[in-house]
Structure 1
Amino acid sequence: MATIHDVAKRAGVSVTTVSRVLNNRGYISQKTRQIVYDTMEELNYQPNDLARSLLSKQSNVIGLIIPNVSHPFFAEFAYAVEQYAYEQGCKLLLCNSQLDPVKEREYLKMMKGNQVNGIIMGSHTLDTESYLNLNYPIVTVDRLITGFPYVASDNELGGRLAAELLISKGCRKLVHICGNQSLDMLSNLRTAGFLSAAKKAGIETVILETKMNVFDREEYEYLITTMFADHPDLDGVFATSDIIAGHVISKCRQLGKTVPGQIKIVGYDDISLASWFSPGITTIKQPIEDMGRMAVNLIQQQMSSGPIVHENILPVELIERETT
């Protein structure tokens, strides 16, 4: 198997020159660059990415830890991160924590061992000290950790827009199904915005929190069944995700309740599935693609020691469909 020394010798250049061509660093004439490329092809030379990362202290790999890759929001976010990272010459190391702190800690160790350029944290099971001790460029998603930049949608505005729409449609008893408020997440601001708008209008509200595992379908089923049993007079639901909104639609069908006739529903995220449901889900659109792009940019800005904006709150948009 050919080595970088074999390429340098055959091409008549130094090992440093071959390395610069491989890493696209420093000035190399187009003629020399082409000679090196032709020689690598002739010798069937395959660069050793691990060795290069150990030498340069960079791997051109960005780590992404998310709680559940099967959840459509995180799937679409991961897709956006990978696509933009690839355009910037980076690869993506995707880790699925499943809200398991042991698993998340193991992934952090693995990323450190592989010299990743930085880590995008979309999970939230470990204490902040676990991140502060990493000494790596880190970006958090929907979570505030002092010292690290974060990316989030305007959660408070999203909650307010959802409540205002339901109220404007004539709803007089609103239920908000949200994540567990004991988790220190910026998404909790959706609840704050919702409650603020409802209180201003003098509308009765009920808050239903999921358990710590916010992606449990059986938990959704139990919570929504209990919701209709305990509050038969509810007429508006704001769900903290489109997936939960979809479960509400399904339960309405089982109970013979019409949507939007008897029950009006607003979701959050605007995942692709939101428009495929029947009826289509009215939702608060998060700019998922822009969030992914910004997360990658923030990693690169930290690597270059450039100026960094720590609070990155992107605008949301109300997308009205058939559930309201």
Structure 2
Amino acid sequence: MATIHDVALRAGVSVTTVSRVMNNRGYISETTRSKVFAAMDELGYQPNEIARSLLRKQSNILGLIVPSVSHPFFSELADRIEYYAYLKGYKVLLCNSQLDPVKERDYIEMLRRNRVDGIIMGSHTLEVDEYRNLRSPIVTFDRQIGEDIPYISSDNYEGGRLATERLISQGCRKIAHICGNLQLDLLANRRTDAFRDAVKRHGVEHLIIQTDMNVFDQARYEQLLRELLTANPEIDGIFATSDIIGAFAIKECEFAGKRVPEDVKIIGYDDVNAARWFTPELTTIRQPIDEFGRMAVEVLSKQVEGEPVEIATSLPVELIVRGTA
């Protein structure tokens, strides 16, 4: 197996010069750089990334923990995080927690052992103290877990207000809100706060239906919505806390013989790409997923470099009117 000394000998340079080329440090002429890379190719030399990270005290690897990459919001978010991380010279290790605290803890330990430069947390099943004790740069999504730990969210209250006011303005008089389990301490619960305030302000009859603790159990959505529409045939508006729930609402309205939007108006949340695949297309609240990814990488990279960062980053949302409301 070729070593760095073999590369130096083949390129006709010192070991120090080869090291500087690999780590992109100091001035190296393009001629010398080309010689070193050519020698590496000829010898099939692969740098020892672990040794290099120990030397630099930086791995250029970020950890990303999400509940489920199969969920459209988190798959699109992971895509944007990987994109912006790569632009800054980072690779990303993706971990699915499946909302299992044991699995989430195992992944955190794995990321720590692999000396990742920082962790982006989109899953929150562990106790707050376990995050605080990471001793690594960290940024979280939609959960505030400490005064000194940065977090990124969108304006959840405004999103809930926009959705509810839209349904009311379209004539809905009995609205069902399908949300995540409110026992989870998430900033997304502010959507439900806004819903309550709006229906109370307008005197509109309403229901709030919470999903199970595993809010990503999509099979449960179908059953939940079918039971809701059977028990409450007078419902004429649904505010779903995700586009996936909104999609199931369209399907179950059709099953119940209800027309969308004539009989039941539906608004989702997130504006994932799939929101435009349904018939009718889903009216929804757009979260800035691309900006989420960019900001997550920026906040984390600043921490890695020892630069100051804002603890709270809240991004604006937008009502996207399509065919369901």
How high is the TM-score relative to the length of structure 2? 0.96
Alignment pair present for 1:299 and 2:304: no
Q: Distance in 2 between matches of 1:151 and 1:233?
A: 38
Mapping for residues 261-300 of structure 1, pairs under 5 Å: 261-300=262-301
CA distance in 2, matches of 1:11, 1:44: 13
Moved more, 286-295 or 228-237: 228-237
Matching residue of 1:209: 210
1:108 aligns with 108
Q: 2:9 and 2:130 mapped to 1: Cα distance?
A: 46
Residues 192-238 of structure 1: per-residue CA shift (max 9 Å, x gap): 11222222222122111011000112321222122113322111110
Q: Distance in 1 between matches of 2:293 and 2:316?
A: 14
Match of 1:119 in 2: 119
Give me the CA root mean square deviation: 1.3
After TM superposition, give the deviation of residue 91 of structure 1 in Å. 1.0
Whole-Å separation in 2 of the counterparts to 1:205 and 1:26: 65
- The offset of 1:301, in angstroms, is 0.4
Q: Partner of 1:224 in structure 2?
A: 225
> What do residues 234-264 of structure 1 show as CA deviations (whole Å, max 9, x unaligned)?
1111000000011111110111001000100
Hey, what's the Cα distance between the residues in 2 that align with 1:16 and 1:179? 56
Separation of aligned partners in 2, 1:240 and 1:16? 56
The letter of the residue matching 1:313 is S
C-alpha distance in structure 2 between counterparts of 1:36 and 1:275, whole Å: 50
Q: Which residue is 1:53 aligned to?
A: 53
Structure-2 separation of matches of 1:111 and 1:14: 34
What is the aligned partner in structure 2 of residue 155 from structure 1? 156
In terms of mean alpha carbon deviation, does 310-319 or 25-34 score higher? 25-34
- For 1:26, the aligned partner's letter is G
Q: Does 1:28 align with 2:28?
A: yes
Q: Tell me how far apart the structure 1 counterparts of residues 35 and 19 of structure 2 sit (CA, whole Å).
A: 13
- Supply the distance in 1 between the matched residues of 2:165 and 2:121 (Cα, whole angstroms): 32
Deviates more, 1:69-78 or 1:41-50: 41-50
In 2: Cα distance, 1:212 partner to 1:309 partner: 31
Task: Give the Cα–Cα distance (whole angstroms) in 1 for the partners of residues 74 and 113 of structure 2.
Answer: 25
CA distance in 2 between counterparts of 1:58 and 1:113 reads 13
- Deviations 1:16-71, CA, capped at 9 Å, x for gaps: 33222112123333333233222222322111212212222221111100001111
CA distance in 2, matches of 1:65, 1:219: 23
The CA distance in 2 between the partners of 1:20 and 1:197, in whole Å, is: 61
Higher mean displacement: 303-312 or 25-34: 25-34
How far apart are the structure 1 equivalents of 2:243 and 2:298? 27
Q: Which residue of 2 aligns with 1:42?
A: 42
Give me the whole-angstrom Cα distance separating, in 2, the residues matched to 1:248 and 1:264. Answer: 10
Q: Distance in 1 between matches of 2:162 and 2:19?
A: 54
Superposed counterparts of 1:130-169, under 5 Å = 130-146=130-146, 147-169=148-170
Q: CA deviation at 1:180?
A: 0.4
Kept in 1, the 8 Å contact 2:163–2:239? The answer is yes
Q: Distance in 2 between matches of 1:17 and 1:205?
A: 70
Moved >4 Å (runs of 4+) = none
Task: Assess if the C-alpha contact under 8 Å between 2:229 and 2:256 holds in 1.
Answer: no
Distance 2:49 2:281 in 1: 46
